[in-house]
Chains A and B, each alone.
Chain A
Amino acid sequence: MNEALFSQLSTLGSSVVLLFGLILLWRRSLHAYTDAFQWQSAVLAAMFVMIGYFGHDPELYFVAVFFFVLKVLILPHYLERMEKRFGGERESQPYVNVATSLILAGLLVLLAYAVTRPLVLVSALPTRGGLPLAMGLVFVGLFVVITRKKALTQIVGFLVMENGIALLAVLGTFGIPLIVELGVFLDVLMGFLVMQVFVYHIHGTFESIDVDQLNELRH
């Protein structure tokens, strides 16, 4: 009974995480994106705790705490500061419009199911049902980075992609070794800080955070 509950909870959690990711394609305001990312990370941290409990792995509790502090508190704080400065700009004309984006997202999730079939077949863990959803989130994050024009949206898309990979790791392996996990957090934090610095530079030099304007460097 426990195992069935565990399995259902992990699939439910992965679905919720993916749905928050789809908000990036549906809504257009930068505020919605940062909110979606924050909620998604909170649900993901809760999933770490749940998997730690059912999977009898106390290390995951540490990881959940670090994850929560980094992705629900620290990163959204910086994102909100940026969004206050540049938030007036909305993702008004992405390269792919909203309706098409959502359809493509559905296709990407189908693709994720196809791609992760061997993984689900090979794994014996009760959490394997959520693996396609995690891969779907990675594809959706990648799609956001490619098709959105505002630098801030691209950053959130990248962070969502990282969330997808973290979900993939925890569903498939109950967590990668702790030292690597800590290093990954550090890298994500540093990467984010660098990107944040650049968004300020872009705004300062180009008077907008529209990456469409970054088109001087041709052949």
Chain B
Amino acid sequence: MKGTVGKAFIVGAAILSLVMAASAGFAETVKVGVLLPLTGSQAKFGEIEKRSYEMATEEINAKGGVRGMKIELRFEDDTGKPDVGRSGVEKLISRDKVPVLTGGYSSSVTAAATPVAQQFKVPFVISTGSADDITEKGYDYIFRVNPPASEYPNAVKSFLQGVAKDVKTVALLYENSAFGQSSSKSFEKDCADLGLKIVVKEGYQAGAIDFKPVLTKVKAANPDMIYMVSYVMDASLLMRQSKELRINPKLFIGGGAGFTLPEFAKSAGTAAEGVYSATLWLETLPFPGAKEYYDNFKKKYGIETEYHGAEAYAAMQVVADALKRAKSLSPKDIRDALAATNMKTAFGPVKFVSYGKKTQQNKLDTYMVQWQKGELVAVWPKSVATKMYIYPTPHWDMRK
């Protein structure tokens, strides 16, 4: 009798200690706060990024996590609104006590949310928000993986100098948002440098049904090139209605954001053919893990990913790398580790440098892609091109 009680006691103690050990193992996670638009009109991109963050985290955790602990993501929905983004960051810092933050999709939200992180002295690794001034405020806790908006068209500039030398006049259309204004302003400067004349410059409200008034003005000015800074569905309507009005410049160029998504081609149909876009990433680029990321994403979620997802995936790689190297898990030490980042990600090499007015900004090349027969192919610079560019864009009436 005594023996059984003793045995039961031992077994019980063993189970108890096991449970405790297990629970202790689970409790030891590193929380990483992620700010993304999960509802609202930008939710589509928020979703791609969220999935990329989750995928990167799963891969890191499968390899043993960081410092023997698993990474746990805490998402906060900014709904695409700056004020919600601010309170989201506050919540992550004060309620969830995250030692490091990442994410930041739209420029407006990122610009509003990063000062909060700076104020609480918690490092924030921006994955997407690209308005230039975000990294021009001298904040020492804010890092940016993606290039600023003004550098998106670098490849476009070299294309105009190298190939499209006969382009003299430009129509500039942009979404009236922080990203659109920042991009259009810097592109205007680029045009001045290249000696191009801007004949029409128009902002528009995102989500408009009818772009014909603006496009009619563009048609009347008959520019050699139309440069558009638009999100995906505005981009598709702009191209569809350009086709309806038979506007025939030598070049249609999208300045990033919407023109590279599969939805753009699906919705614009034949009107997407021949459209160029600046882009920050392609799965065919020679970066370690780029192709794997693209394939795994497609396998896992059944949909294609694009540069926004790659930015998120790389941002997570950067955060995990810093967590591994940091002296401790205090925000200050993580910040110091981030500042010393020098690694290769699926999105390209990441190293935070200061140049011009910018601080802790990653410097990257940009690329140019073109829709050819329903496929997005890299065409510029030549070193990464998978197909020859088609220039000038064929006349609408000449197409089959």
Do A and B interact with each other, yes or no? no
Residues of B whose CB lies within 8 Å of any CB of A are: none
Residues of A whose CB lies within 8 Å of any CB of B are: none
